[in-house]
Structure 1
Amino acid sequence: MARFFYLLILFALLFICPFRNADATPVAVGDSGFVVMNLAAHPDDEDGATLATYAKLRHAKAYSVFYTRGEGGQNEIGAELYDELGNLREKETREASLIQGSEPVFLGFNDFGFSKTAKETFQVWGGKDAVLKRIVFEIRALRPDVIFTNHDTVTVSPGRQHGHHQAVGITAFEAFEKAADSSYAPEQFRMGVGPWQVKKLFYRRFRPATGEQLVSIDASAKDAGGRTIEEIALDALAKHRSQGMDRINRATIPAVFRQRNYILTRSDKIYPKSETDFLAGLTPEVRTPLKTNENMYAADASLRTPPTVAKANPALVKVSPQAFIGLVKTYDNTLEETLQSYGVKFALIDSAMLASGDLSKYSAIVLDLRAYLYRTDLVKYNSRVLDYIKQGGHVTASYHKPGEWKPEYAPYPIAITGERVTEETAAVKVLSPKHRLMTTPNQIRPEDWNGWVQERSIYLPAADTLRTSPMYERLLTMSDESESQPATSLLWARYGKGTYTYISLALYRQLKIYNVGALKLFFNCLSQRDENRRK
């Protein structure tokens, strides 16, 4: 990722562009006169139930402030990525906000993918002080009585959240004091804002410690129409379709996520204790918060787009001329477009083919991203895919998330974890340099790991051989700095007369930009049937 470029542009936007239109017209606060603000790193990170409680039952003005638009995530309903995905998630968020009664505000920081540390997040976002000034301005402009967030300041394992979440928690804590300090960022006062003292700051406690004084939000309370707050919040959450939230089984949501327990982290003075109300002891103030300038960050859209890379010269990558690929396609178009771009003969495998078609005509079968979640027909007829391998075929399976995968989907057990290698420049060691996936028909060289974007590997299979069978050869090892991830990003095994490959590398992101190394590895996976026949 070209972080230096991002930093230069981000600094320019933060200090050249005004944070908000100084001539913006006032917007009306809720009938109660109170203002509450929820801080979230990404769309769907907000606490919709608490926002709905204060907007619909307490008639407060409720803001949900998002540091990013979520453009670095995975799209579970289509092929949009990066800026296109950000546009989609912003639209989904606005639809959700209409249901829960909140007003969304987007700060425009770059969602560069999963991060493990606040340190990395602040570096990419232009520095901690730049991020702090941005949220301080928002507080001064919107003037909330109470701020609450699902995120916290824990930066070490166990218990740490996503690095973006850590950055939100850290800047929320510091902004509580800085927003009221007239000596901090005084240049903002020329933009129509002034110092503002938030009264209370709350962090959510998903697993409260014994004896903690908590404020609990009653999600069973009903609005004037008779709907519970939980129902409203879940309806809002379901709007985040690109994150799969419309498929949530409401009956099986763990209790830890149904409970809304918060701890008072900072306050400007001592207030009466309450176990049910953020606003206990507060008096509403007269204020005219500024309306968000929603177009302010339109200029930084390029920050969310990966480097533009020309299609790799076909002479640089090889694929077996006899290849005829069967693709079990899901929601993403990347694998299909890659095959089309390089003239590889392929066919989409439909339910009828899985059920009773002649799979042996395919030189290899590729299972697209998260195929066992999106293709229920694949789950139903998986035994036929395993028989295809046993008879001499080759299957390459793309990554899956833990909850949607069963060990028996593979020829030998594979257990999926939440582990990932987020540093796209992490050193890669090839454990079996002479293995066919590293040599045939393309020789994988050290430079082929250069130029990757966003991350190396996601949802790695478990390291221990009790959960992930020792029948699989571990072909690669890589880890984030100062960490040790399992050597399971590329697994390969013989099964009967054929072979099976499981890839948890973030290969689709690299194929999207025609990364030569990723193309070589992908085409090596497609060219194994010829090798199987030679054995």
Structure 2
Amino acid sequence: MRTCVFVLLLMPSFIFAQQNRQPDAAQIKLKLKKLNVLASVLYMAAHPDDENTRIITYLSNDYLTTTGYLSLTRGDGGQNLIGPEIRDQLGLIRTQELLAARRIDGGQQFFTRANDFGFSKSADETFRIWNKDEVLSDVVAVFRQYQPDVIITRFPPDERAGHGHHTASAILAQEAFDLAANKDIYADQVAQFGTWQPKRLYTNTGRWWNTTINENTPGIITLRVGEYSTLLGQSYTEIAAISRSQHKSQGFGSSGTRGDQPEFLEYMKGARAEKNILEGINTTWSRVKGGDKIQPLVTKAIAEFDGEKPSATVKILLLLRKEIQKLEPGIWKTRKLAETEQLIADCLGLFMDVTADKYYVAPGQQVTTSLELVNRSGIDVTVNRIQASDLGIDSTLSLALKNNIPANIRYIKAVRKSKPYSSPYWLTENHGVGLFTVTDKSLIGKPENDPAIQFTLDVTIAGEALTIVRPLRYKWTDPAKGEQARPFEIVPPVFVNANSSVVIFSDASPKDITITVTSASDGRVSGTLRLDLPQGWKTQPESIPFELTERGQEQTKTFQLYPSSKEETTVVKAVAVIGNESFDHSFQTISYDHIPTQTLLPKAETKVVRMDLKKDGKIIGYIRGAGDDIPAALRYMGYTVLEMKNEEVNLLNLKQMDAVVLGVRAINTNKRMGYIMPALLEYVKAGGTLVVQYNTNGDLTTKNFAPYPLELSRDRVTEEDAEVKILKPDHPLVNIPNKITAKDFDGWVQERGLYFPNKWDNNFEAILSMNDKGEKPKESSLLVARYGEGYYIYTSLSFFRELPEGVSGAYKLFANIVSLNTRRAAVPEVRKKRKNKQG
């Protein structure tokens, strides 16, 4: 008897599904039919949500091809509609949203090391920032590993794609198409993966760049993706809409459509097809040497499958498995053996789950693990061995699993002391603007880490030996949501978390820095806490002792931090010293219902900003939009921030505020904005200041969001170092209480601003001018209008990115903006001075 691992169970896209769901009879039947199709397609684009879930769903569930999506980036540079996470944290959310989508549409997921640095206006800029050759090598590696017969790109390889990343994804696809078969290109990969030549490359065309295309256009391949699956009880477009709707952070909830829906594919490279994208590709078992004996067995399994008794199919699946094992090594042997073994478990109703009594432990610490094993069939299943090397588990047994009789096994073991911490592999090391640092090249292409702890179970099924792999998870029951699960993690013995991500020093006075140290260990842990300081900074005291006696216990310690005498933005790091070891990781989690809980272990760093910051006013009202950390930044500046609910927005409450700020995309996301905007404008008219941050020009909940006509566009300035000119040097916004100069726009990150207005009433004054290289100046990043006794300010500057990064100039300018209504008396004098100068 020979053994083989259930490879598909190691696929990251399936590992961390929040519930261990047994497929129903229709899903099992679909998997059986898929066994008889040996063809693969790789869809390729730049970002999460770029993929066409209609095509992925259709190919995976109708053509029954092995279908994957290669996203060059993790979407780190986008905006977040569901919370405050941006950059690396947003990329982690969008990674998991893609995996959630693939669990629905049946695809697999891949990535490169490319970092989404924000909107790019050209492929040349994109390649310069990414380091083209590095990302190209990743694409070639994915082609060689996955061995797709067909490549489909989402975008054309030119400026019609509308985004430099989009264009770059198509260019890289075409170059990799030619290079993947060349043994002299990236030779280190060849030894591991070999070479590969896809059959053809097509572009999923017919969008904004080719609106006249249809099924009668010469050379176009049409996919009828709207077909109805009687087996699944849904059209492929309905399934695709559910998949698409997993992109919640981008607001891409989608309604399912029914009826005929064409998608068009346009030839780019390789062998042309006339009508079918798989033309000329052998999709049968005859493409594999020795496969002639397998096809009849699969056909028989499909024909004889009984949805009310799936276990009757196990016998023929075991025969099929034996024949696949005889094949020479290759991608199709690996894939189909894994699919077959998964089907065996599915048809048995075999439930094997491994859970922990806690969701994290430190290396060397004990964890209690529980195995729940249930064979829901009359076929003999025996567990012969259970292993988990990271826990020192290696048990030989002979446990017969009788029909529907649960077996439970419990271990109390310590995690291997040398076990590394759990953290997203692409975030473990510091990274640059364009590329993540991944030292282990074998991880490139993978969507996420392998599970921290895995159990392997050697079993015998009807006399045949198999090995099943299961991840260790943590499960609990939520009173409202029912059974929930999250990945099990390996973490440091203590965490050190700063209570503020940014601290502002407006003068030489010290400020309190509060650090919380938390135990992730059982028993007593003691040591000292200190701050690693940049030159010129000091703390009182230099260190503070701590003692924690049980897991989860925390202590809060406060240092007085004295700033440097020079203006700068720098970093202070908290360190816990226990014996001869130092620990400097914080503990962060990201938790949303549509994705598994994510754990991050970033360095325990606080940005500290020494600058001469002045402000006027005390109380700021804030109305949330899509999610940002502006309220925290305002509190760092010394303001009291009252986050207002819609029902609290009335003139009586508003008059208590020195200024009111709308969160980013509030007019896109707050469905009540049309009803509360009259009160906000009345507040302005009565003498208040209203600050409206950027919104997109689509899906506005009201068009009446300004006192005078104002139209939004898609204009933006993406170069974070683009020159900024001050158009109104005497205006209070750039003078009071902080003098703003061009130097205050140094050190900005990702972009200057986005979705600038392109038309505005003469009552608005444009304060700044900026533009990307080779473009005309844009003057609408900061507009201010007098309305009644107050001021209305619309700004498309990316304060939501700059303030969390501790950009001092952004803080000064934002302080001026929210301080405007406290200095109304100064404004006429400034205007008079400016008028005299002009005269």
TM-score range relative to shorter protein: 0.7 to 0.9
Q: By how many angstroms is 1:322 displaced?
A: 3.3
Does the 8 Å contact 1:118/1:164 carry over to 2?
A: yes
Q: Provide the rounded CA distance (Å) in 2 between the counterparts of 1:351 and 1:505.
A: 25
Determine helix, strand or coil for the equivalent of 2:753: coil
Q: By how many angstroms is 1:310 displaced?
A: 5.9
Q: Deviations over 1:385-444 (max 9, x none)?
A: 111111111111100000133542101111110111000000000101110000000000
Comparing 481-490 and 325-334, the one that deviates more: 325-334
Residue 174 of structure 1 aligns with which residue? 175
Does the 8 Å contact 1:398/1:502 carry over to 2?
A: yes
Q: By how many angstroms is 1:200 displaced?
A: 1.0
Does the 8 Å contact 2:238/2:255 carry over to 1?
A: no
Structure 1 unmatched runs, 5+: 1-23
Comparing 181-190 and 98-107, the one that deviates more: 181-190
Structure 2 counterpart of 1:130, one-letter code:
E
Q: Deviations over 1:303-352 (max 9, x none)?
A: 4799x996342233444443321111234241110122122123122223
Does the 8 Å contact 1:461/1:486 carry over to 2?
A: no
Q: 1:92 aligns with which of 78, 94, 97?
A: 97
Q: 2:228 aligns with which of 222, 228, 232?
A: 222
Q: Provide the rounded CA distance (Å) in 2 between the counterparts of 1:117 and 1:263.
A: 22
Q: Provide the rounded CA distance (Å) in 1 between the counterparts of 2:44 and 2:434.
A: 24
| Larger RCO, structures 1/2 (Cα 8 Å, 6+ apart) | 1
Go from structure 1 to structure 2 and tell me whether the alpha carbon gap of 1:364 and 1:334 turns closer, same or farther (over 3 Å shift): same
Give the alignment's TM-score, normalised by structure 1. Answer: 0.86
Q: Does 1:443 align with 2:447?
A: no
Does the 8 Å contact 2:114/2:434 carry over to 1?
A: no
Q: By how many angstroms is 1:360 displaced?
A: 1.5
Residue 282 of structure 1 aligns with which residue? 281
Corresponding pairs, count:
491
Does the 8 Å contact 2:501/2:804 carry over to 1?
A: no
Q: By how many angstroms is 1:141 displaced?
A: 1.1
1:137-286 alignment, distance < 5 Å: 137-155=141-159, 159-191=160-192, 193-205=193-205, 206=207, 207=210, 211-223=217-229, 224-246=231-253, 248=254, 259-267=262-270, 269-271=271-273, 273-274=274-275, 277-284=276-283, 285-286=287-288
Q: Deviations over 1:471-518 (max 9, x none)?
A: 111111111111125311110111111111100011111101121100
Does the 8 Å contact 1:386/1:411 carry over to 2?
A: yes
Go from structure 1 to structure 2 and tell me whether the alpha carbon gap of 1:263 and 1:485 turns closer, same or farther (over 3 Å shift): farther
Structure 1 counterpart of 2:242, one-letter code:
D
Determine helix, strand or coil for the equivalent of 1:420: strand
Residue 18 of structure 1 aligns with which residue? none
Q: By how many angstroms is 1:374 displaced?
A: 2.6
Q: 1:134 aligns with which of 135, 138, 141?
A: 138
Residue 311 of structure 1 aligns with which residue? 503
Go from structure 1 to structure 2 and tell me whether the alpha carbon gap of 1:304 and 1:69 turns closer, same or farther (over 3 Å shift): farther
Determine helix, strand or coil for the equivalent of 2:823: helix
Q: Provide the rounded CA distance (Å) in 2 between the counterparts of 1:132 and 1:419.
A: 30
Q: Provide the rounded CA distance (Å) in 1 between the counterparts of 2:752 and 2:793.
A: 17
Residue 709 of structure 2 aligns with which residue? 413
Q: Provide the rounded CA distance (Å) in 2 between the counterparts of 1:36 and 1:317.
A: 58
Comparing both structures, which one devotes a greater share of its residues to strand? 2
Q: 1:379 aligns with which of 658, 674, 677?
A: 674
Structure 2 unmatched runs, 5+: 10-30, 289-329, 336-422, 436-499, 508-610, 829-839
Q: By how many angstroms is 1:270 displaced?
A: 4.9
Go from structure 1 to structure 2 and tell me whether the alpha carbon gap of 1:426 and 1:202 turns closer, same or farther (over 3 Å shift): same
Does the 8 Å contact 1:82/1:305 carry over to 2?
A: no
Does the 8 Å contact 1:428/1:478 carry over to 2?
A: yes
Give the alignment's TM-score, normalised by structure 2. Answer: 0.56
Determine helix, strand or coil for the equivalent of 1:477: strand
Q: Provide the rounded CA distance (Å) in 1 between the counterparts of 2:661 and 2:783.
A: 15
Q: Provide the rounded CA distance (Å) in 2 between the counterparts of 1:350 and 1:533.
A: 31
Q: Provide the rounded CA distance (Å) in 2 between the counterparts of 1:142 and 1:391.
A: 64
Structure 2 counterpart of 1:218, one-letter code:
R
Q: Does 1:60 align with 2:65?
A: yes
Does the 8 Å contact 2:628/2:664 carry over to 1?
A: no
Q: Provide the rounded CA distance (Å) in 1 between the counterparts of 2:255 and 2:709.
A: 27
Go from structure 1 to structure 2 and tell me whether the alpha carbon gap of 1:404 and 1:318 turns closer, same or farther (over 3 Å shift): farther
1:39-54 alignment, distance < 5 Å: 39-54=44-59
Q: Does 1:348 align with 2:643?
A: yes
Q: By how many angstroms is 1:190 displaced?
A: 1.7
Q: Provide the rounded CA distance (Å) in 2 between the counterparts of 1:72 and 1:381.
A: 31
Residue 587 of structure 2 aligns with which residue? none
Residue 424 of structure 1 aligns with which residue? 720
Q: By how many angstroms is 1:299 displaced?
A: 3.9
Q: 1:528 aligns with which of 797, 817, 820?
A: 820
Does the 8 Å contact 1:323/1:527 carry over to 2?
A: no
Structure 2 counterpart of 1:494, one-letter code:
R
- Taking only the aligned residue pairs, the percentage that are identical comes to 31
* RMSD (Å) for aligned C-alpha atoms: 2.7
Structure 2 counterpart of 1:34, one-letter code:
A
Determine helix, strand or coil for the equivalent of 2:802: helix
Does the 8 Å contact 2:129/2:433 carry over to 1?
A: no
Residue 751 of structure 2 aligns with which residue? 455
Question: Larger Cα Rg: Structure 1 or Structure 2?
Answer: 2
Q: Provide the rounded CA distance (Å) in 2 between the counterparts of 1:413 and 1:182.
A: 61
Q: By how many angstroms is 1:160 displaced?
A: 3.7
Q: By how many angstroms is 1:250 displaced?
A: 6.0
Q: 1:508 aligns with which of 796, 800, 823?
A: 800
Comparing 311-320 and 412-421, the one that deviates more: 311-320
Does the 8 Å contact 1:312/1:515 carry over to 2?
A: no
Comparing 24-33 and 86-95, the one that deviates more: 24-33
Q: Provide the rounded CA distance (Å) in 2 between the counterparts of 1:358 and 1:57.
A: 58
Does the 8 Å contact 1:27/1:288 carry over to 2?
A: no
Go from structure 1 to structure 2 and tell me whether the alpha carbon gap of 1:499 and 1:131 turns closer, same or farther (over 3 Å shift): same
Q: Provide the rounded CA distance (Å) in 2 between the counterparts of 1:353 and 1:452.
A: 35
Does the 8 Å contact 1:83/1:301 carry over to 2?
A: no
Q: 1:105 aligns with which of 94, 107, 110?
A: 110
Does the 8 Å contact 1:53/1:229 carry over to 2?
A: yes
Does the 8 Å contact 1:71/1:304 carry over to 2?
A: no
Q: By how many angstroms is 1:108 displaced?
A: 2.4
Determine helix, strand or coil for the equivalent of 2:109: strand
Does the 8 Å contact 2:504/2:637 carry over to 1?
A: no
Q: 2:729 aligns with which of 433, 457, 465?
A: 433
Q: Provide the rounded CA distance (Å) in 2 between the counterparts of 1:270 and 1:237.
A: 30
Q: Provide the rounded CA distance (Å) in 2 between the counterparts of 1:321 and 1:531.
A: 8
Q: Provide the rounded CA distance (Å) in 2 between the counterparts of 1:319 and 1:450.
A: 19
Go from structure 1 to structure 2 and tell me whether the alpha carbon gap of 1:434 and 1:398 turns closer, same or farther (over 3 Å shift): same
Residue 699 of structure 2 aligns with which residue? 404
Q: By how many angstroms is 1:532 displaced?
A: 2.0
Go from structure 1 to structure 2 and tell me whether the alpha carbon gap of 1:394 and 1:310 turns closer, same or farther (over 3 Å shift): closer
Does the 8 Å contact 1:317/1:519 carry over to 2?
A: no
Q: Provide the rounded CA distance (Å) in 1 between the counterparts of 2:211 and 2:713.
A: 25
Q: 1:82 aligns with which of 79, 82, 87?
A: 87
Residue 130 of structure 2 aligns with which residue? 125
Q: Provide the rounded CA distance (Å) in 1 between the counterparts of 2:780 and 2:748.
A: 18
Determine helix, strand or coil for the equivalent of 1:523: helix
